[in-house]
Structure 1
Amino acid sequence: MKRRTLLGAGLGVATVAAAPATAQETLSLSLITDRPQAAAGIAARIAAMSDGRITIDVQTAGADSAASFLDTVSGGAVDIYLTSQDAFVARNPAFGLFSAHPGGMSTSELESWIIVSDGRFMWDLLGDEFGIKSFMAGDEGAMPLWSRAPITSLDDLKSGPVGSTGLGLQLLKEMGVTEVVDVMSASDLGSLVALEGLNAAQMVASGLAATFPHMTTPNAARPSAALSLGINMQRWTGLSEADQLLIERCIMAEHGVHRALALHENALALNNEAAGIVPHEMPQDIWDAQIAAANVVMASMFDAGDIAADTADAYLYFISDVAEWSEIGETAYFLGRKEALSQ
């Protein structure tokens, strides 16, 4: 695929021939999720904006069943899912690019790639393979590394089982961690040396912060934690353009609300003295190993089929475009502010 032929091609909503619903027709949709709070917000906003004409029945399932959501929705048993597409990387690793690629895009970079560049187009190509139309539906924030005891070196991380999720599982293996556990499907995390894939608020709410109080950052394995809403493609193309736009705008609005809520809740959890969270800086040898392994994870995308390869190419192309501005527009300011606040 020629990269330049893709740029800008994804802007706007593609029109697919279908029989649209009439403007005043009531519409009832079903949604399955392991993030009920985010799903409830989207359902409420869509109902309000449609004056009750469009309703969504939210069904909650455990995180250990999230991998099945893709087939459940693409097969038409349920109309919509809301989860992290980390759950689908075994089907196509490119799904991980729209959640959290190790050493990859920050949340704001990922949003920009999807909204104004060719990320939307690439996501649609990936979704076409599974009969899904995907949208951003929140982000749980950058994920620290959590541990029982302070992690001082890569050897500490290799000393026992470590938990992660999505592409983070492959990353750990590439780093030489021999016992790797998926934190979203494991029934017992008590034997782990360390884990990632949960933010500060989730660690405190689940009680895991008491067992894994040591928080190490920055963690290159989880620079973002985007959530996605996927709609059955036949259901989506059967909607009128007006209903498509209403639903899309409501999802986008709730995406922003969820981002803001996650930031606030993580800050509250970190500042909660009762939670006992102890911050640490990431040891240099672990950071170096993460970046080296992240390059291997990305390189493997190019051997995972045309869609994965083209999506990875587009992802890297966008990072090269925005990296310098991200350093100037975000990183430099935050570092300067940190120094000022410490005085």
Structure 2
Amino acid sequence: MDRRSFITATGALAIGSVSAATLATPAIARGEQVWRMVTTWPKNFPGMGVGAQRLADRITAASDGRLTIQVYSAGELVPPLQSLDAVIDGSAEMSHGAAYYWQNKSQGLNFFTGVPYGMTSRELSGWIQYLGGQEIWDEIYDQFGVQGFLSGDTGTQAGGWFRKELHGLESLQGLRFRSPGLGGQVWAKLGATVTNMAGGEIFQALQSGALDAAEFVGPYNDLALGLYQVCKNYYLPSFVEPGVATELVVSKEKFQALPADLQAIIKDCCQAEYDQMAADFQVNDPRALRTLVSEHGVKVLQFPDEILKAGAKASAEIITALRDSSDPLTKKVTESYISALATMRERAERTEVPYLQARERYFSL
């Protein structure tokens, strides 16, 4: 290369370097970051999948792009039930799922999703925010270097889809049933053979005969999954998932390294999404149920009293055993939950329940 060519080339490189530096400086100065959120939900899945994307968009917009969240749906980056592990091992900065999916790590995590005969979603939010739930949740997740926040509310869920009608406890013996968390433990005590799997896998398992029954969320999601194509007996409501929350889990180290305003944005966006998802399900569950019944011939049923009573007994036994656990954090979270539930039952049973009963009996338009 002659001197003139060399000068021209190096000059171009210098100009290019200056331009790149000039373009990059504002982003660096603003501290812009891109985080990955892995989820347990199928892409664009009603309620939870849409909610995960909406939460990511909220954080990105509220931070003015200083923290951009890229969403990876179930299986896109990691298998759905390995989402939490992806945050723990650093493959992702966030996961969106349900805490009871990780009960193998700590039985205490069950309490931050849904508990048989336990809190409704509003009661759960009250415990988390005002009665010490968040602090204990933080202690449990500290063991794994992550932090959790409520990120969505499905409300009281459906009891599930069954090939055959249930006539009592004898109908449950050996029944192959998809049900996660403490609810799954209750069904196992009642005689079912219980397994857990991601929502996107349920239809195939029912269709192939690997499952005899399954519960997931409720009409809104179940319609989208097409479960009515295999089973027609649909039981409402669930007694093991009275108020289920989704969670956003973040890497604790990376979360705490954020400026205070970005930490606040993540927390506030989670709360906003918790409320919006609740409204989404409140409106779309009854619409979907009408479609299931009128267009797909689904039969809506309630669990027999024998199952409800046995389920309550099994639930109490499981929760009592957790309260007596040798694991200090499991014991602590169970005791906190029981105490908070006792407080909030007073409001529900003196106020909400009598009101709903009166509206049902006496009011119509």
Q: TM-score range by the shorter chain?
A: 0.7 to 0.9
Say yes or no: does 1:24 pair with 2:30: yes
Picking from 308, 320, 337, the partner of 2:359 is 337
Once the two structures are TM-superposed, the CA of residue 157 in structure 1 deviates from its matched residue by 2.2
Instruction: Kindly tell me the number of residue pairs found equivalent between the two proteins.
Output: 321
| 2:216 equivalent in structure 1 | 197
Structure 2 CA distance for partners of 1:173 and 1:23, relative to 1, 3 Å = farther
Describe the superposition over 1:213-241 as per-residue Cα deviations: whole angstroms up to 9, x where unpaired. Answer: 22223321111221000000000110111
Specify the alignment match of 1:310 in structure 2: 332
Please provide the CA RMSD for this pair.
2.1
Q: CA–CA distance in 2 between the matches of 1:182 and 1:165?
A: 5
Contact map agreement 1:298 1:312 (CA 8 A) in 2: yes
Larger mean CA deviation between 204-213 and 273-282 belongs to: 273-282
TM-score, normalised relative to structure 1: 0.87
Question: C-alpha displacement at 1:165, in angstroms?
Answer: 1.3
* Structure 2 residue aligned with 1:38: 51
Rounded Cα–Cα distance in structure 2 between residues aligned with 1:97 and 1:188: 27
**Does the 8 A contact of 1:157 with 1:194 survive in 2?**
no
Rg comparison, structure with higher value? 2
CA distance in 2: counterparts of 1:165 and 1:225, whole angstroms: 12
The residue identity in structure 2 corresponding to 1:128 is D
State the secondary structure of the residue aligned to 1:151. coil
Hey, what does 2:178 align to over in structure 1?
Answer: 163
Correspondences of 1:275-286 after superposition (within 5 Å): 275-286=296-307
CA shift in 2, pair 1:342/1:277, >3 Å? farther
AA aligned opposite 1:52: G
Deviation (angstroms), 1:341: 4.7
Contact map agreement 2:176 2:195 (CA 8 A) in 1: yes
Q: Among 321, 332, 345, which residue is 1:323 paired with? A: 345
Give the counterpart of 1:254 among 263, 267, 273.
273
Task: Say which of 279, 297, 306 aligns to 2:318.
Answer: 297
Give secondary structure in 1 for the equivalent of 2:206.
coil
Q: Between Structure 1 and Structure 2, which shows a larger proportion of helix residues? A: 2
Superposition TM-score, scaled by structure 2 size: 0.82
SS of match in other structure, 2:30: coil
2:66 aligns with: 53
Task: Specify the alignment match of 2:205 in structure 1.
Answer: 188
State which of 121, 124, 134 in structure 2 corresponds to 1:120. Answer: 134
Paired with 1:188 and 1:263, the residues of 2 have a C-alpha distance of 28
CA distance in 1, matches of 2:296, 2:110: 31
Aligned AA for 2:55? I
State how 1:59-78 maps to structure 2 within 5 Å: 59-62=72-75, 65-78=79-92
Check conservation: 1:102, 1:223, Cα contact below 8 A: yes
Which range moved further: 214-223 or 108-117? 214-223
- Percent identity over the alignment? 25
Q: Summarize the Cα distance change of 1:23–1:274 in structure 2 as closer, same or farther, 3 Å threshold.
A: farther
2:37 is paired with a residue of what secondary structure?
A: strand
Q: Point out where structure 2 has 5 or more consecutive residues left out of the alignment.
A: 1-27, 42-48
Q: Which amino acid aligns with 1:314?
A: S
Post-superposition Cα deviations, 1:142-168, rounded to whole Å, max 9, x if no partner, equal 222222232221212226322211222
Q: Which amino acid aligns with 1:77?
A: S
1:141 maps to which of 152, 155, 167: 155
Instruction: Check conservation: 1:30, 1:59, Cα contact below 8 A.
Output: yes
CA distance in 1: counterparts of 2:107 and 2:80, whole angstroms = 16
